[in-house]
A and B are shown apart, each in its own frame.
Chain A
Amino acid sequence: MARKNKDKVAAYQRALEFYVEELAIELLNRINARTPYRSGYMLSRNDVSIEPNGDITFRNDAPYFDFVNNGTELQPPQRIVESVLLEKEDMAKIAWQRALVRAR
């Protein structure tokens, strides 16, 4: 019994390590799914990285990303990033489930 619990604790610890990674993947997938494309350049520049302190950073260095996401005077905003961030609870649940599966 004690051994079983020990295994479980070890599995959770491993899952915690995978969690941030899974969360970053889920975030990138959702942003990619909503990024509009014509040539595909902006879509290809979506990038997510994990900082040493555990923060997840999203970057897109296409020069016109701001114009698409935040809109301009002449075109309405898409709010790609903001609308994905609204789903953070769902993303957290999915990421945790995937992390648990990986930690098995």
Chain B
Amino acid sequence: MIYEIQQAFEAELASFLANEDVQVVAENQAVPTTNLGKFARVKHIISQPAPATYGSTTYTRKGIFEVDLMFPLGKTDAEAAQLADALAAHFGGLGSISVTVGTSAYSVSVDLAYRSTAYPGEVRFVVPVLINWRVRTA
């Protein structure tokens, strides 16, 4: 189920970034150090394991979908910050996403989407956008 949620968030991100010149880097890929293009590194952080139940009707899990926007240092800092704000606003206003796994249906809602503290790295400016989500049985 958690993989379907990851896919849903990544698909949402891909559609948001479709018109931007930003390449998405998956969790298991390294951000190239030679190519100084614009990148969005994604990371999924799942909070606490699902509790074992005897068929409880309610099911909730929480997690963070983090998108680190990495832009080359220099003039583009403002652009990265602007895109980060737009990203947070987009996911914040998303409401809920429906995810179906087999016969089970889940509703994923975004609790809080915010831009974290930006910092300049060695060669890139990094703006983390944190999207806190919560899933319930629909």
Q: Mark B95-130, 1 if CB is under 8 A from A, else 0.
A: 000000000000000000000110101111010101
Question: Nearest-CB distance from B129 to chain A (Å)?
Answer: 12
Q: In the bound complex, do residue B126 and residue A73 qualify as a contact, i.e. CB atoms below 8 Å apart?
A: yes
Does A61 make an interface contact (CB < 8 A)? no
Partner of B66, one of A72, A74, A79, A84: A79
Please judge, given known A-B contacts A83-B64, A86-B63, A86-B132, whether A72 and B45 are in contact too, CB under 8 Å: no
Q: In the bound complex, do residue A73 and residue B124 qualify as a contact, i.e. CB atoms below 8 Å apart?
A: yes
Main secondary structure of the interface of A (DSSP, over half): loop
Does A7 make an interface contact (CB < 8 A)? no
Q: What class of interface size applies to chain A in its complex with B?
A: 10 to 19
Q: In the bound complex, do residue A83 and residue B47 qualify as a contact, i.e. CB atoms below 8 Å apart?
A: yes
Does B43 make an interface contact (CB < 8 A)? yes
Partner of B128, one of A71, A84, A87: A71
23 A/B residue pairs, CB under 8 Å, sorted by A:
A70-B116, A70-B119, A70-B128, A71-B68, A71-B126, A73-B70, A73-B121, A73-B122, A73-B126, A74-B31, A74-B33, A76-B27, A76-B41, A76-B43, A79-B43, A79-B64, A79-B66, A82-B45, A83-B63, A86-B132, A87-B47, A87-B48, A87-B62
